[in-house]
Amino acid sequence: MEPGIADLLEPRPLAPHVVRILWRMQGPSRVIVARLERHPYGRELVIAFDGSDDARNVIETCFERVNFATLQQRADELRSLLAMKGWVEMRSADLAGPGSR
């Protein structure tokens, strides 16, 4: 019996590795963050409510193997949409998050 595709691929790392925080935006009661994470087969854009690594706080994810600019473009589109709805971008000094200073 030949191995399946899942047998050929390496397992996904247990914890995601954030490559870069693209932006954070403050809404009426919560903060949304856009971040790029390492993925075993490329990069992943994660849009989520900030403050918890709980998967229930993830709003959207996008995966790209080669064209990482596509992820940046999607993040920019979502940032513009949130800005039109009254969300405010947080200062760049705040991007590192709590406890990093």
**Which positions ≥6 away from 51 have C-beta within 8 Å?**
30, 31, 57
Q: pLDDT by residue (tens digit) across 4-16?
A: 666 666 665 555 5
pLDDT band at 99 (very low <50, low <70, confident <90, very high): very low
Helix (H) / strand (E) containing 71: helix 69-84
> 24: closest CA among 99, 101, 98?
98
What residue has token string 């490329």? 42
**pLDDT value at position 34?**
95
pLDDT band at 30 (very low <50, low <70, confident <90, very high): very high
Name the 3-class secondary structure at 50. coil
Q: Residue ranges per domain, the chain?
A: 18-94
Report which of residues 51 and 53 the model is more confident about: 51
**pLDDT value at position 13?**
53
Q: 95, 21 in Cβ contact below 8 A?
A: yes
pLDDT band at 44 (very low <50, low <70, confident <90, very high): very high
**pLDDT value at position 82?**
96
